[in-house]
A and B are shown apart, each in its own frame.
Chain A
């Protein structure tokens, strides 16, 4: 039996969510295969049929080979749904089946709703409006900063930020959103791995905070080994949960672009953060802009797209975007030379020395000055120019 939030209660009679979990835990079972399996009847019935080897003739488009079917039969005879269910209970992972009471309405109406949804945290916090902030794992300092600012700004405005708990932009957006504290909106994450280990180790603390202040969803049962194909599949849930998708930084191809495709299929507006045209990390976002995506120049633009701001673009009473008031002291001649040589792309000290033509001691003191005054920042051996001071 489950209560309204879908948190499992250990009982003697197994709920049908337990059988759903067991079915979803089978090797290489994704949403499409799970849906086909369920066409045989209730999860419990399918489980029994599978154990008896009576499930056959998969549709051709699912590409299920005979060996795969045999493997499932073997697995079904080995796996104990009760055990799986107990494991879910122990982790505190909730299970929501499509059509059950607590299932998020925005997903229920989706083109391709997940048949079963696992969650950590409180799924009732899912509420419109929500914005997906996505982007590359290999973000530049600029992208990380923007993602964090957007995350914080949206949370302040009461907008839920949805992201994927990956390194880079995802983590920065979550961190920004959480930085507002309890006064801000809830946070949501959709991950492509089982909820026993929802994210890279480096983000584990962040994931705990997200679960505490919001909810983490996954379509994958806990303790199922992570597989690369599950990540693109989860992007559709990410898109489906959002009212607007914002891409902060992305290369020409990648997970973010996949989310954009899913959003397009669902008629969800896409916004893109412009970046330097010679930055690899902004290749995809700039391409989106030239393809007609809305530019995102700040939190206000997103709020406007959500209809939460009555300021019309171009109208005289439009609230100004954060004024690019320069508060940093102007660099001297050598400093300007160095800044010009850095450009808007991270550069090594060695190249900087060559390009600027500055002598070693001058280079050292110039860089030190620029760093102290917030004109540049360093990551590893790289030097990066900062557009704005803190």
Chain B
């Protein structure tokens, strides 16, 4: 009269193993689900009952108790429906225990018994060790990314016939997914002019340096930012799994593409809520935009329009590459290792030509104050982006390098960085910088003079050094950092204060 079936529930981007126990016994007819189910999980009662009846199976008119163990973990969503149904059929002796031994079940049931796809199959399946998994057929491709032997069924009645050996397991062919090359929709070759910004993007892609673009509307900030992912190399196997896991948990994994191999690009609007940006919510703890951008690029357009609290919430993930979302009864750690690209106007009126701005000094000062200096400090590259002069656009129809050309340089340079034991030069600090980024004598003189003149802070010098190292990596000839590298890094770093300086 007792049966148990393994399944899993989703918290953040991690699956947690759940054992579904069903007891069918003497007593008044009734159906209770215990073990901290949330509302959508408790609704499983009605779905399971209807699905069993419409699949021409018997509903036991006795006391039914479903327990979801461990009972202290909150169970969210409809993914446990199928496991409950199978355990119930086992407990009511309609299925033999041997029939489903060693199998784990996932899937939402329709009232007519069909199986519907669920969120986060990838992390859910990954959470189970040993045994085979049965998932809705629509989730099969996703499940097979981690479990080649995953099984897919389309309805409860089909599953019951298979388990009672009336039918064989349906076996759709395993699809091999090619890495989609050129999957990026835009190319750097389409960018006219912007010689400095192009170089800046290349450096950002190589060293993982965060970029702040300051410029009037229409100067090409968004266009440039959208092309940054196309300069990033393909994700390696582990990176692809991590990114796919997050996208799966958010329900964004497109099944046909298999594992996500290209770095993601997310550009949330400035009205996004704090939870949408950072992740959370009271039950599901869904990954936010920063986690979805993990492994790729997070683009914040109109940085100054984001509420200050939201921007300051980005400081932890920018520092540590993860975000901890804590709620009263749970806390999860979400990945947030993204390359931040932000764009802002120089002033409220946004007219970028020298002398054309009509903002009052007070307005400009207020605008500048919206961005806290600890946040601005995180940007190693600060670009003043200007719309190209019309004469220049038509004079130089010659298009620049394409993304793939730049990307091949980036890949080579990243190899050098990976020898240092970090994924990007951005992460080098203090002693590691001393060790890996020696500076030529001339270069030291240059840095010293900048420090003495006060145009560079101590922290600024460190960051300049890291960017210079990236420039050295791109050069590819090795050796200590030269004055050329430092000068390039200084040019990319720009002035400490850019917003609100418009004349």
Q: 21 interchain pairs (CB within 8 A)?
A: A138-B355, A202-B365, A251-B355, A348-B352, A349-B384, A349-B491, A350-B196, A350-B197, A350-B386, A351-B386, A351-B388, A353-B195, A354-B195, A361-B488, A364-B491, A365-B487, A368-B487, A372-B449, A379-B503, A380-B346, A380-B499
Query: Nearest CB to that of B496 among chain A residues?
Result: A380
Question: How near does chain B come to A139, taking the closest CB pair, in angstroms?
Answer: 8
Chain A CB within 8 A of B378 CB: no
Chain B CB within 8 A of A318 CB: no
Of B196, B392, B449, B499, which contacts A349 at CB under 8 A? B196
A382/B199 contact (C-beta < 8 A), A280-B355, A350-B385, A354-B389 known: no
Question: How near does chain A come to B219, taking the closest CB pair, in angstroms?
Answer: 8
Cβ of B199 and Cβ of A380 under 8 Å apart? no
Cβ of B195 and Cβ of A379 under 8 Å apart? no
Given contacts A200-B362, A353-B195, 15 further A-B contacts (CB under 8 A): A138-B355, A138-B357, A281-B503, A345-B354, A351-B386, A354-B392, A355-B389, A360-B196, A360-B488, A364-B487, A364-B488, A365-B488, A368-B491, A380-B501, A382-B503
Chain B CB within 8 A of A367 CB: yes
Cβ of B449 and Cβ of A364 under 8 Å apart? no
Chain B CB within 8 A of A119 CB: no
Chain B CB within 8 A of A137 CB: yes
**B residues neighboring A (CB under 8 Å):** 193-197, 199, 214, 346, 352, 354-357, 361-362, 365, 383-386, 388-389, 392, 396, 446, 449, 471, 483-484, 487-488, 490-491, 494-495, 497-503
Complex Cα distance, B383 from A7, in Å, reads 54
Question: How near does chain A come to B378, taking the closest CB pair, in angstroms?
Answer: 18
Complex Cα distance, B251 from A67, in Å, reads 65
Complex Cα distance, B488 from A365, in Å, reads 7
Residues on the A chain within 8 Å of B356, using CB: 280
Chain B CB within 8 A of A346 CB: yes
Cβ of A379 and Cβ of B501 under 8 Å apart? yes
Of A351, A363, A380, which contacts B497 at CB under 8 A? A380
Complex Cα distance, B389 from A347, in Å, reads 11
Query: Nearest CB to that of B384 among chain A residues?
Result: A381
Question: How near does chain A come to B368, taking the closest CB pair, in angstroms?
Answer: 10
Complex Cα distance, B471 from A348, in Å, reads 22
Residues on the A chain within 8 Å of B392, using CB: 351, 354-355
Complex Cα distance, B486 from A364, in Å, reads 9
A361/B495 contact (C-beta < 8 A), A137-B361, A200-B361 known: no
Complex Cα distance, B487 from A361, in Å, reads 8
Residues on the B chain within 8 Å of A351, using CB: 386, 388-389, 392
A381/B346 contact (C-beta < 8 A), A348-B384, A368-B491 known: yes
Chain B CB within 8 A of A16 CB: no
A360/B384 contact (C-beta < 8 A), A140-B503, A355-B392 known: no
Cβ of A138 and Cβ of B503 under 8 Å apart? yes
Of B362, B384, B488, which contacts A380 at CB under 8 A? B384
5 closest A-B pairs by CB = A380-B501, A381-B384, A280-B355, A353-B195, A364-B491
Residue in A138, A140, A381 whose Cβ sees the most chain B Cβ within 10 Å = A381
Question: How near does chain B come to A348, taking the closest CB pair, in angstroms?
Answer: 4
Residues on the B chain within 8 Å of A380, using CB: 346, 384, 495, 497-502
Query: Nearest CB to that of B486 among chain A residues?
Result: A368
Cβ of A350 and Cβ of B483 under 8 Å apart? no
Query: Nearest CB to that of B365 among chain A residues?
Result: A202
Residues on the B chain within 8 Å of A167, using CB: 361
Cβ of A280 and Cβ of B354 under 8 Å apart? yes
Beta-carbon contacts under 8 Å, A215-232 to B: none
Question: How near does chain A come to B375, taking the closest CB pair, in angstroms?
Answer: 18
Chain B CB within 8 A of A279 CB: yes
Complex Cα distance, B496 from A378, in Å, reads 11
Question: How near does chain A come to B364, taking the closest CB pair, in angstroms?
Answer: 11
Cβ of A350 and Cβ of B355 under 8 Å apart? no
Cβ of B497 and Cβ of A354 under 8 Å apart? no
Residues on the B chain within 8 Å of A140, using CB: 503
Complex Cα distance, B497 from A382, in Å, reads 11
A350/B195 contact (C-beta < 8 A), A364-B488, A378-B495 known: yes
Residues on the B chain within 8 Å of A251, using CB: 355
Query: Nearest CB to that of A368 among chain B residues?
Result: B487
Query: Nearest CB to that of B194 among chain A residues?
Result: A350
Query: Nearest CB to that of A351 among chain B residues?
Result: B386
